[in-house]
Structure 1
């Protein structure tokens, strides 16, 4: 029997990277690809609507990009933020009560641009990285962390929020 919708599921290293690092980065990119694919074409209303007084999809997209940039500059590079990237985050990360900043009124294109630009810069810093640097701990005051762990964490972080966004999308598409 031939299955017409049979897929091949495998991880392939991103071209231009050390093979092992490229595999991890492929996973990071795959999470993003599925997120952007699902969000393509959603309305401004869906992007900006709060459910049960929680954050909006727009707020979560802002948060995902901000956290990725923060881990890149603070933990991997241990340097000041690129001013162009920093300028993409005009809102405080969290409100006074600790909840994510409310981001409303930014178009899907603006969110996609920010996510894509941060990812482009993120990936560019890994192209020349070898396995020694990939596994070299950055010794910071609160903890030691490797770029390898940062990428693992970002996969986990974005996957978690992608799940939240997908749940919100289902509810909003049904209710609106």
Structure 2
């Protein structure tokens, strides 16, 4: 892997740069969780915490939500909400529903969602990336939305790294 933000084959120049940033963020997330057990993925530091597994699934859920909103032009349907709602919202529902899965489960979900994003990006160009839209009732564009996907992952990767330092049986 190169540590460069650059154009990538199969994508327009700006989308390629965005993908290279997304790839790096994902690599560092996967590096942070490499080899974790179910016990480590499910560990809760307190009654209000989110587990590492839940944070991984949340990363995928945020990207999935933007796929539905941006690529499909709609809100999640009932089936999608049933599948992704706990991961998107986390909290009590996430603590209840997101557990007892091996690391491969979370990694497969991350890859499944990311593969669709990459396929969709190959169909679009830099004009689309800069297209304006409203997000959270504010002026935005597609570039910002996908930057936010990266930002969200990096934020939660930081939480994961902190949690790893706090797991008593890892110290």
Structure-1 residue corresponding to 2:145 = 150
Counterpart pick for 2:163 among 168, 173, 176: 168
Q: CA deviation at 1:122?
A: 1.0
Counterpart pick for 2:113 among 109, 115, 118: 118
Q: CA deviation at 1:20?
A: 1.6
Q: Which runs of 5+ in 2 are unaligned?
A: none
- Please give the TM-score of this superposition, normalised by the length of structure 1: 0.81
Counterpart pick for 2:65 among 59, 63, 70: 70
Structure-2 residue corresponding to 1:48 = 42
Counterpart pick for 2:10 among 8, 16, 32: 16
Q: Give the structure with the higher percent helix.
A: 2
Partner SS, residue 166 of structure 2: helix
CA distance in 1, matches of 2:50, 2:15: 33
Q: Relative to structure 1, is the Cα distance of residues 109 and 80 closer, same or farther in structure 2, using a 3 angstrom cutoff?
A: same
Number of corresponding residues: 168
Q: CA deviation at 1:106?
A: 1.6
Q: CA deviation at 1:70?
A: 0.4
- Please give the TM-score of this superposition, normalised by the length of structure 2: 0.83
Runs of at least 4 residues of structure 1 off by over 6 A? 82-87
Structure-1 residue corresponding to 2:128 = 133
For the pair shown, the structure with the greater C-alpha radius of gyration is: 1
Q: CA deviation at 1:136?
A: 0.9
Q: Relative to structure 1, is the Cα distance of residues 42 and 175 closer, same or farther in structure 2, using a 3 angstrom cutoff?
A: closer
Q: Relative to structure 1, is the Cα distance of residues 112 and 86 closer, same or farther in structure 2, using a 3 angstrom cutoff?
A: farther
Q: Which runs of 5+ in 1 are unaligned?
A: 1-7
